[in-house]
Structure 1
Amino acid sequence: MANTRVHVKLRSTESHHLYVTTKNPRSTPQRLEKRKYDPVVKRHVLYRESR
């Protein structure tokens, strides 16, 4: 059985910071959006998937 998970970059909407995570493109074809902690601005902000 093949592993279908792919690595994606989540980039902050308020700074240059990014997180790297994985997702299953079959179950989540749209781009990810998550609220995560941004150490540059020292608070939680929206992170969006970048390509």
Structure 2
Amino acid sequence: MARSTLRPVVRLRSTAGTGVTYVTRKNRRSHPDRLVLRKFDPVAGKHVPFREER
């Protein structure tokens, strides 16, 4: 199965500055802006916003 350019793999980096990353996919057509999700940062020990990096 070929990978779609419509749903690319994106890397989410912690805004707490700890260097922790998550990897996910997103739909470019319905969400063209940068993705921001609130996820758990194990280094910081709390939930923080994770922002899509390019």
Correspondence for 1:11: 13
Cα RMSD over matched residues?
1.2
Q: How many residues align?
A: 50
Q: Any stretches of 5+ residues in structure 1 without a counterpart?
A: none
SS in 2 for 1:27: coil
Moved over 4 A (4+): none
TM-score by length of 1: 0.90
The CA distance in 1 between the partners of 2:34 and 2:25, in whole Å, is: 12
For 1:1-51, list aligned pairs within 5 A. 3=4, 4-14=6-16, 15-51=18-54
The CA distance in 2 between the partners of 1:33 and 1:23, in whole Å, is: 11
Which structure carries more strand by proportion?
1
TM-score by length of 2: 0.86
SS in 1 for 2:29: coil
